[in-house]
Amino acid sequence: MYNVTLIPGDGIGPSVIDVAVKVLQATGIEFNWDRQVAGMAAVYEFGNPIPEPVIESIRKNKLVLKGPLTTPVGGGYRSVNVALRQEFQLYANLRPAVSFQGTKSPFKNIDITLIRENIEGLYAGIEHDIIIDNQKIAAESIALVTRSGSERICRFAFEYAKKHKRKKVTAVHKANILKCTTGMFLEVAQEIAREYPEIEFDDKIIDACAMQLVMAPESYDVIVTTNLFGDILSDLTSGLIGGLGLTAGANFGEDVALFEAVHGSAPDITGQNIANPIAVIKAGVMLLQHVGEKKAAKAINSCAHELVAESKYVTPDLNPKANCGTRAMGRELVSRIKNAMKK
């Protein structure tokens, strides 16, 4: 029995999380879901996007499956996602992009793992307005990059590459312009790389990397980078495999692990039963891998890839002609997983 904090989230979150829970339960593994309200739903209910019970639940369970949370653009409260990552020091964000057959993507055989520093850089939340005569005349955001934070994430990337028998780690930076911050990040990556001579290492400037990911994605294996660059590049790598409906991420700290989709709350499609649940299901697969439930993780993953490849029981982002919604896609997956677990 696994005790897991479950945050359905905002927008399409509750609908895709509902499918993910049914899919995980179809494996026969027992979960004790500790349901918690965070984000906009919690603002409406409690006037606070992260009520104390959410923090207590995560502290106790140490495992979290989370739907997307809305953050208003501009004013309003700070991102709940960023706050949770900082509260639990979830310093490593792992976002794998692995091709599915049957998508519209022209790219085949993509297998890129993006590892993003998750609590520093421009997301450290050190920013302020400069107001003179009651008028905002400027604003400053500080990108905080520490040597220890850079060492921690670069080591995480090389340990990941070693454990998963990956061949190459690429450090992505902007050390030609942001010499102090990403310059130090690159210097640290080069130092750590020397401790892993069996793993090839190179580095790329962020803009060149973005172009090359589209022109020659096969030249990338594991990417390690700072917070903002990782956030942007992981949407790019999601695009390479067919869109945001397909990619998941894990956030790791020393003792807490939080699993979620890469996508957001998708207000444009909320309430239409057309959100693709695969991304959150993939987050569930990462959770199972984390706790060592290899058979169940493999069964869900194979059934999900099979379903997408057939293109029949899939949401409109994958095949508009399939005429299939979120719930029907989930039901088909649940029945296949039950069969797969009997084998």
Establish if 70 lies at the interface with ligand NAD (CB under 6 A).
yes
Q: Which residues of 225-234 are buried (b: 16+ CB within 10 A; e: fewer)?
A: bbbbbbbebb
* Cβ 170 to ligand NAD shortest distance, Å: 24
Site string for ligand NAD, 239-268 (x = CB under 6 A): -----xx--------------x--xxxxxx
CB of 265 to ligand NAD, least distance (A): 4
What's the number of CA atoms in the CB half-sphere (13 Å) around residue 284? 30
The CA distance from 6 to 4, in Å, is: 6
Q: Site residues for ligand NAD, window 71-110 (CB under 6 A)?
A: 71, 81
Q: Which is nearer to ligand NAD, 18 or 151 (CB)?
A: 18
Cα–Cα distance for residue pair 249/261, rounded to 1 Å: 6
Bridge partners, residue 321, by sequence: none
Q: Does 119 bind ligand NAD (CB under 6 A)?
A: no
68 touching ligand NAD, by CB under 6 A: yes
Task: Identify which of 190, 89, 198, 74 has the alpha carbon closest to the alpha carbon of residue 127.
Answer: 74
CA dihedral 53, 58, 63, 66 (to 10 degrees): 60
Catalytic choice (34, 203, 231, 317) = 231
Q: Is the CB of 263 or the CB of 336 nearer to ligand NAD?
A: 263
Q: Which of 104, 162, 207, 294 is catalytic?
A: 207
Distance between CA atoms of residues 145 and 91, nearest Å: 12
Nearer to ligand NAD, 16 or 337 (CB): 16
**Binders in 298-337 for ligand NAD, by CB under 6 A:** 317
Separation of alpha carbons 19 and 188, rounded Å: 42
Interacting residue ranges for ligand NAD, rule: CB under 6 A: 12, 16, 68-71, 81, 244-245, 260, 263-269, 275-276, 279, 317
